[in-house]
Amino acid sequence: MSEENQFGENLGEFSEDAEMSLDVFELSVNVQDTDLRIDTWLTQRLPEFSRARLQKLIAQGHVLVNNQPIAKKQKLQVNDQITVTIPPPTSLDLIPEHIPLDILYEDDQLIILNKPAGMVVHPAPGHSSGTLVHALLSHCPLAAIGGVHRPGIVHRLDRDTSGAIVVAKTDFTHQSLQGQIQAKTARREYLGVVVGSPREDMGLVDLPLGRHPVDRQKQTVVEIADGGRSAQTYWEVLERLGNFTIIKFRLGTGRTHQIRVHSNRMGYPIVGDPVYGCGRGIKVKLPGQALHAWQLELIQPVTGETIKVTAPLPMYFEKLLTRLRQQANCT
């Protein structure tokens, strides 16, 4: 599952106003929450919404403090009364598209796919067709709770990250799977190739993440007090190949670009990452970052059965590993 944010970020006209049906939340500020920024506090109190979604609601005047509009950076005071109004969704018909799917597991509640690199999970600005959602709509029914443009989508993978992704067919299963992600009972493991060789064999990166203050397309380490969201990535060295290393990553959280940012912050960027990494010394053409959602383990919400799938590596990834092993044996 995705190093991406579970609920999506900054999707503009496609989903920021189409994420939920009309609803109103009435909240009260406790003593321990005073001096928190309103967007930080709302993210904690309403985890079903992304920070970007809440910030847009604030900017649009859908969030009131004591019946008055508030700026996203304004801090809270004890006993403040917060009203959050979720506007009705805008409709946009998604036309099913017959796109081949690599199905790893399927039953009447969910489907697990091996997403290819280059495929966007759901519609977003610049990606109004050819997404995984378009392909799924021609294959099976999807849960409506995911939103107008993200039916059934429980989590995401970056466009150029391949591998296992689960999609819900029913609202009950969608809620259950999101609960498993939040409770960390769903296990998500990735394989990545990084530049460099860590001194240790395993470790944990525990650094909060948020949107880059200058480049809004990037994520970076941001202190929680400044609006960052906690993020934990566990890592373990599987194989050292000269100046490159195969690492298994396990997500403790699922923030946007989490593995890519944490790996780069460690000093070991993902090979081929066009935003945070590099491709030094690589003679294999890659569609993007050498990062693959390798294994996914979850509980089937209806039967209680443990489902564990392994997504085979794409051919270009296997070719990369072969080339790196050859290079390592020649040095």
CA distance 251 to 29: 31
Examine the residue annotation and report whether 158 is marked as an active-site residue of this protein: yes
Q: What is the SS3 string spanning 89-126?
A: CCCCCCCCCCCCCCEEEECCCEEEEEECCCCCCCCECC
CA distance 254 to 220: 14
Number of Cβ within 10 Å of residue 118's Cβ equals: 12
- Active-site residue, from 17, 33, 80, 158: 158
- Tell how strand 244-251 and strand 110-115 pair up: unpaired
CA distance 165 to 127: 19
Is residue 307 classed as helix, strand or coil in its secondary structure?
A: strand
Q: CB under 8 Å to 31, separation ≥6 — which residues?
A: 78
CA distance 118 to 278: 18
- Tell how strand 81-86 and strand 68-69 pair up: unpaired
Q: Which residues lie across from 166 on neighbouring strands?
A: 112
Residue 269 to residues 24, 44, 80, 121, 244, Cα–Cα distance (Å) = 43, 30, 44, 24, 10
The residues that are catalytic are: 158
